[in-house]
Structure 1
Amino acid sequence: MTDEFIDETERAARVAEYKRAIEAIALVSHDPVPHELLAQLLEQPTALVEQWCDELAGIYRQENHGFRLVRVAGGIRYQTADDLTPYVERFLLHDQRARLSGAALETLAIVAYKQPISRAQVAAIRGVDPDGVLRTLQARGYIDEIGRDDGPGQAILFGTTDSFLEKLGLESVDDLPAIAEFIPGPDVVEALEHGLRVTPEIDVTTAGPQQDD
């Protein structure tokens, strides 16, 4: 057995150990783990760590596991396979934690697509005072104060957080679907207007002046 073969075998064993370490760290971490942090822990170049993460992700996909190793919010984490969502949702139905209201979801969408945005701007879009909802979203960790407006009063500006990206399985806000996808076309709007239009019916027999009894 040549020295070259021994060196290659040892290298393969070390790489296998590094990959196992990546799996272990990602498994116990509550938040997505940045590649840079993994590189520090393994004492290996970041480029190699990214390559090993991609190789692990490829193996999971190829072997059709029920989980994936994905890039989310600037790091990696495990999450369930997309096609198993119905089963996971059934399991999560047992989760009794309070869910976001419709108003909160609407406000969160406004912040996500219009950030950085002030409280007054959110109010102008929604037509109602958003203070309570903004406090709820901030307490849940989905939005936070990210700056101040340059205008008079220097209003607080809100934006989404890494926790928001993690919940949605996104690496950055640039991965949000185009808002145009949620806007109906002119033909749909016209059909809706036609369906909602009401023509008042006039009873000609009682169309004259009415007198109280």
Structure 2
Amino acid sequence: MEMDKMKAVIEGLLFASGDEGITLRQLSSILEVTAATVSHLIDELKYDYEHEGRGIMIIKSHEVFHLTTKPEHSDYYKKLLETPQATRMSQAALETLAIIAYRQPITRTEIEEIRGVKSDRPVKTLIARSLVEEVGRRDSIGRPALFATNKDFLTYFGLTSLEELPPLPEDLADRDTAEQDADLFFEQFNQEFGDE
């Protein structure tokens, strides 16, 4: 693989690794090149970010590399965080939120069994929006994380307790559980999300 392509792959891996970051050893293993080569390519990326007027940079903390924003732009990032988000939640996030609200505490695997698809991203979205949180670990193999709604969820929807959630009708036995949960949730709260 040519050097420019490897540099692009490293950049993508740094981005994809998110907050966890990635080590020199991991990069070397993934690219199947020496650590020295990876180190040289990271130095080139750092130089590019510093000299091309870019908004990102690479930092190294405890032997882990991270792609991050430049501190001199922090005022703009603060403004972004202060700006109310006008984006609506995805169908997947709404379904996942409905399932968690009605079945909590629940593991990601249990959510995926109900939805029939992977649910990593919707759960992360809900955590990022502070509607869901990890509340413990299931006492089973692997001790999977348990997720539940939180105080912000109640506040967001104007509820004082989970007992105020509309009950699931018993006459919908022929419909899929996830569909029941999501439909009822949408009926009650879709207007709230539409106003975000």
Same fold (TM > 0.5): no
TM-score, scaled to structure 1: 0.40
Based on CA coordinates, which of the two structures has the bigger radius of gyration? 1
TM value normalised by structure 2: 0.44
